[in-house]
Amino acid sequence: MTRLEAVLWDMDGTLLDSEKIWDIAVRELAVELGRPMSDEIRHALIGASGPNALRIMFNGLGLDPTPAALTEAGHWLERRVTELFHGPIPWRPGAKDALAAVRAAGIPMALVTNTKRSLTEYGLDTLGREFFDVSVCGDEVAHGKPDPAVYLRAAELLGVRAENAVAIEDSPTGALAAEAAGCALLVIPCEISVPEAPGRVFRETLVGLTVPELHGLLLERRAS
């Protein structure tokens, strides 16, 4: 019988309502760069790794993505997000109770995020490091989501098989990464919709999520 070996959590938009903080920062960066940002461009950034997000942003704004320009923009964005991340970050509905339920069941957990380590540490200040056995950030692998590397690395650090883990995501980019790694997938959309696809199970929020439900996701994926 398939056993649930780990739960792998995305951070921004899944556990923390931090996409709204990123929204402030990236829109301010667009103003700093002298170009207005459309909602279409903003939505394309959600879930992307830092380097990919900046390239998407520059291309969408019609700016030349030179290495120097991208580096300068990245530094500006990190400084601004750091300012905004100081202090408690709002939780997504049900997230804290869901973390506590999985931890009480003794199931290993990892935080798996495209956010770079320096900023993820602020998220962990709010979430509580005691919930996670490991954390893997976008700047700690060769390629961030939608590449599966962050999920595969988290599974490796936990000593589990990715196909025996459930990943919980809110974005199309994160969903693709989890699927490519072989994880069972629970999607909790936040700022943007996530397309339906075979194997994707959706919930409106994490409110009331139970460990048996997570076990069921894994069994359902194996049976399909």
| Catalytic machinery residues | 10
Min mean pLDDT across 11-15, 39-43, 107-111, 208-212 is at 39-43
Q: Are 217 and 200 in contact (CB under 8 A)?
A: no
- Sequence ranges of the chain with CATH classification 1.10.150: 19-85
Is CATH 3.40.50.1000 correct for 6-17+90-223? yes
Under DSSP, the state recorded for 201 is E
- Sequence ranges of the chain with CATH classification 3.40.50.1000: 6-17+90-223
Both tokens of 170, joined, read 């809110």
Q: What is the pLDDT of residue 1?
A: 53
Please give the order of strands across the beta sheet that includes 134-136.
Answer: 134-136, 109-112, 6-9, 165-169, 184-187, 200-202
14-34 average pLDDT score: 92
Could you tell me which of 108, 101, 118 has the C-alpha nearest to residue 162? 108
Query: In the Cβ-directed half-sphere of 214, how many Cα atoms lie within 13 Å?
Result: 27
Could you tell me which of 184, 145, 143, 133 has the C-alpha nearest to residue 162? 184
pLDDT > 70 in the chain, percent: 100
pTM above threshold 0.85: yes
Under DSSP, the state recorded for 12 is B
Is CATH 1.10.1740 correct for 19-85? no
Task: Tell me: cis bond preceding 146? Omega within 30 of 0 counts.
Answer: yes
Mean pLDDT of the chain: 93
- What is the spatial distance between Cα 93 and Cα 160, in angstroms, rounded to a whole number? 28
Both tokens of 123, joined, read 């998220």
